Structure 1
Amino acid sequence: MTKDEHSKRILLGEISGVHGIRGDILVRTYTATPDAIASYGPLTDATGTKTFSLKIVRVTDKGVVARIAGISDRTTAEALRGTKLFIAREKLPETSASEFYHSDLIGLNAVAEDNTPIGKIVSVQNFGAGDLLELQPPEGASEFIPFEDQWVPKVDLSARTVVIRRPPSTGDETEDAETDEPEQT
């Protein structure tokens, strides 16, 4: 699979575990509604070489329990744990001018509100409390920015930019150090 073909695929979910002895799997989905993952047709792995047809059994608070055609035992299903599930972008609904897929954000230039370059968006993560943009500045470690209007007021796909308002620093502040003296009793 060429790099161009790979970039035209969207990550929809990941096999996070197994359920029962008949080979059912637990899928963490990244779709707007969890059971939508099965509605786009067969999914592929990261290499694009393995194809998976899912049938949703039920939706749980941890994702969806699904069956994969051709998988009928727990051992075979267990071997798929960690497999990321992709779909060709053209199989997904078109987005409106104000909508985008998370994968559209990766590689965008991040700028401050005054248009000063501050880095690139290298990933979109969700650790349970909401989506986060991973911002890689030109130098130093990456940082996570909450993907909320308050911190990300504008995404311009045509200009390939995202405007970032950085949250206040949570690091050690010198002025805080002066006021953090122990109380005298």
Structure 2
Amino acid sequence: MHDRPEPRYLIVGRVVRPHGIRGAIQVEILTDTPEHIAELETLYLGPHHLPYQVEQVRFHKQRLLLQLKECTERNAAEALRGDSVAMAREDAIPLAEDEFYHFQLEGMTVQTDTGEELGELVEILSPPGANDVYIVHGLRGEVLLPAIPEVVQEIDLEAGRIVVHLIPGLLPDEK
């Protein structure tokens, strides 16, 4: 059973560096819906998810520029460098029936459509401009599975199981 508690926060970005002298920060976008960030009043930064009030959001060169009420000068912005930027889970946009958050899938058991268990989904890579890739660790070692309809046949959150169809070349012992 896949019964890990849902996180209270969802990571939507990472502070890259300060921007200007008034405490704005430049944020690498780590969400498919960055425009939703502009609608939020509060974001949570760092490992302890400290709340910051959003004053202004702008898009700049594939990144976000955030002005936070509690961050009014460059040194304060510099102190946030590298911190995660998160939103409260309840502020998230509802997902479609066939969409999932990474945290919902990580830790699930992955098995083939023939019943063979491949292992546990330990990480999901989201390369820009490409489909996600599931990293599965199990008896066959590390298996990389493209998250495409031809491969991913079923995701059962209740059972904690993902069923996949293996196309030639996906397993490490296949040439």
TM-score interval, smaller chain = 0.7 to 0.9
Corresponding residue of 1:92:
92
- C-alpha distance in 2 between matches for 1:139 and 1:170: 8
Equivalent residues of 1:54, 1:67 under 8 A apart: yes
Aligned-partner residue type, residue 82 of structure 1? G
Point out where structure 1 has 5 or more consecutive residues left out of the alignment.
Answer: 175-185
Change (3 A) 1:148 1:169: closer
Instruction: Tell me the TM-score normalized by structure 1.
Output: 0.74
Aligned-partner residue type, residue 59 of structure 1? F
How many equivalent pairs are there?
Answer: 170
State the Cα distance separating 1:69 from its structure 2 match. Answer: 1.5
Change (3 A) 1:79 1:5: farther
Aligned-partner residue type, residue 110 of structure 2? A
Change (3 A) 1:126 1:16: farther
Change (3 A) 1:41 1:57: closer
Equivalent residues of 1:58, 1:64 under 8 A apart: yes
Moved more, 119-128 or 48-57: 48-57
Corresponding residue of 1:155:
155
State the Cα distance separating 1:87 from its structure 2 match. Answer: 2.6
- C-alpha distance in 2 between matches for 1:163 and 1:173: 20
Aligned-partner residue type, residue 14 of structure 2? E
CA RMSD of superposed structures (Å): 2.9
- C-alpha distance in 2 between matches for 1:72 and 1:11: 23
Equivalent residues of 1:38, 1:55 under 8 A apart: no
- C-alpha distance in 2 between matches for 1:166 and 1:24: 47
Equivalent residues of 2:111, 2:118 under 8 A apart: yes
State the Cα distance separating 1:143 from its structure 2 match. Answer: 4.0
Corresponding residue of 1:16:
16
Equivalent residues of 1:35, 1:56 under 8 A apart: no
Identity among equivalent positions (%) equals 26
Q: Does 1:136 align with 2:137?
A: yes
Equivalent residues of 2:47, 2:84 under 8 A apart: no
State the Cα distance separating 1:172 from its structure 2 match. Answer: 9.1
Equivalent residues of 2:27, 2:66 under 8 A apart: yes
Corresponding residue of 1:178:
none
- C-alpha distance in 2 between matches for 1:172 and 1:112: 16
Q: Does 1:126 align with 2:126?
A: yes
State the Cα distance separating 1:110 from its structure 2 match. Answer: 1.0
- C-alpha distance in 2 between matches for 1:89 and 1:58: 22
Equivalent residues of 1:29, 1:64 under 8 A apart: yes
Moved more, 36-45 or 105-114: 36-45
Higher helix share: 1
SS of the residue 2:152 aligns to: coil
